[in-house]
Amino acid sequence: MWGVSGVKTVPAVADGDAVVPRNEQLRVADWLFRSNYAGLIWLVVRVWLGFQWLNAGYQKIWGSERMLFWYGGGGGVYGFASGGVAANRTPMGAVGYGWWAAFLHNFVMPNASWIAKLVAISECAVGIGLILGLFTGFAAFVAVSLNFTYMMTGTAGVNPLYALAGVLLALAWRNAGLFGADRYVLKAVGTPFHAGPLLRRVTYHRRPRLVERPLAGVTD
């Protein structure tokens, strides 16, 4: 169909012609990411995922991997990064991006000592946040970021499954922590789209006071 100006236009799809009726297109997603009942599902997912992350961080600080991460100058991170760099040099390497291999070689390997400690602390913090339901969306985002770095370096293992669970929890930030600390914390602090009473109180005291100035040309 051509419009008056000669530009081809696409006719709107009527409700009867749509594959999925308009009133049902977001019904499942809306229930999954907003419903209080779905919060029970996310409770199971986040506690399970949080335990996996907490255990991974625990092993790097106090457990069997402590000599490779918390001690030993970050040998675990150095070896992990150097393996990713080496994998990029083969024709069918697991690391397929030269810029990522350069990042591993030029930044991660020289700073492996403090990066190893940061990784261990981040994994513990993510695990605690998910288990408690404290800032669940942010904790899930950090978890997915860690999974992203591991997979980009050529390690699969459980990372794809953890990343999938993390993405779903990040999308369900409204109700994923409903049966947890977010039920009370988000009401006080607020969300990215609505400041809570605690945040409004803090920002209100920081606002500069308006100084009333007399109008020009006006005298008592």
Residue range 138-147, pLDDT digits in tens:
999 999 999 9
| Residue 205 placed within a domain | no
Distance separating the N- and C-terminal Cα atoms of the chain: 72
The pLDDT value recorded for residue 150 is: 92
Please tell me the distance from the alpha carbon of residue 4 to that of residue 104, in angstroms, as a whole number. Answer: 57
| Residue 139 placed within a domain | yes
The pLDDT value recorded for residue 2 is: 52
Cβ proximity of 66 and 58 under 8 Å: no
| Residue 28 placed within a domain | no
Query: Quick one: tokens of 182?
Result: 């977010």
Burial label for 27, CB within 10 Å (0-12, 13-18, 19+), is exposed
Mean local confidence (pLDDT), 98-122: 94
| Residue 98 placed within a domain | yes
Is it the case that residue 97 has pLDDT exceeding 90? no
With a pLDDT cut of 70, the percent of the chain lying above it is 74
| Residue 102 placed within a domain | yes
Is it the case that residue 20 has pLDDT exceeding 70? no
pLDDT-wise least confident of 5-9, 86-90, 111-115, 194-198: 5-9
Please tell me the distance from the alpha carbon of residue 147 to that of residue 158, in angstroms, as a whole number. Answer: 9
- Helix or strand or coil: residue 2? strand
Confidence of residue 211 (pLDDT cuts 50, 70, 90): low
| Residue 72 placed within a domain | yes
Quote the domain boundaries for residue 129. 37-179
Cβ proximity of 139 and 54 under 8 Å: no
- Provide the number of structural domains found in the chain: 1
Report the mean per-residue pLDDT for the chain.
83
* CA-CA-CA-CA torsion sign (119, 121, 124, 127): negative
| Residue 212 placed within a domain | no
59-79 per-position pLDDT tens digit: 999 999 999 999 988 999 999
Q: Give rounded-to-5 percent helix, strand, coil for the chain.
A: 60, 5, 40
| Residue 199 placed within a domain | no
With a pLDDT cut of 90, the percent of the chain lying above it is 55
